[in-house]
């Protein structure tokens, strides 16, 4: 297993634990911003649908149906595949046998000047850190979409 996968899985486990522990308390505070949900709504809803079922507005135009994100844990013996989801969003996990993918590689997009300049105004900031933090928030939100 690659060290980045192990690190991603470790960080993902910590993030999920922290997010779920404080989630109930945060729901009542309107000042809190749910970055993962905002990322999902901006980038994923169009194909995966508002509830993650794969029924977004563009889903009918795709060559391969959009994944039902609510069943990822169920399809993985009840364990959310955090590292695989993170790497799929980032663009490092690609199934070569399936050919090119229609899903945008958000890691590349986040590192582009458009996203970087919109969110970060400090030239000393690390683009990779920015990209990973957005993808971690999005992955954690997808974790919350899992069917019970």
Domain boundaries, the chain: 3-144
Residue 98, pLDDT score: 45
Q: pTM value?
A: 0.70
The predicted structure's pLDDT at residue 40: 95
Q: What is the pLDDT of residue 97?
A: 43
pLDDT in tens, 87-125: 888 887 665 544 556 677 777 777 776 665 666 666 666
Please answer whether residues 117 and 108 qualify as being in contact, where contact means their C-beta atoms are separated by less than 8 angstroms. Answer: no
Helix H or strand E encompassing 9:
helix 3-26
Token representation of residue 25: 């308390």
Give percent of the chain above pLDDT 90: 38
């Amino acid at each position: 297993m690659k060290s980045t996968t192990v690190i991603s899985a470790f960080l993902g486990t910590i993030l999920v634990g922290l997010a779920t522990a404080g989630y109930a308390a945060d729901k009542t505070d309107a000042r809190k911003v749910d970055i993962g949900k905002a990322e999902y709504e901006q980038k994923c809803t169009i194909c995966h649908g508002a509830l993650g079922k794969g029924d977004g507005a563009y889903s009918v135009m795709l060559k391969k149906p959009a994944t039902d994100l609510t069943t990822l844990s169920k399809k993985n013996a009840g364990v959310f595949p955090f590292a695989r989801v993170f790497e799929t969003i980032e663009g490092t996990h690609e199934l070569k046998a399936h050919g090119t993918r229609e899903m945008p590689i958000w890691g590349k997009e986040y590192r582009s000047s458009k996203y970087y300049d919109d969110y970060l105004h400090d030239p000393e900031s690390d683009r990779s850190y920015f990209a990973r933090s957005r993808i971690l928030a999005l992955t954690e939100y997808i974790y919350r979409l899992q069917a019970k």
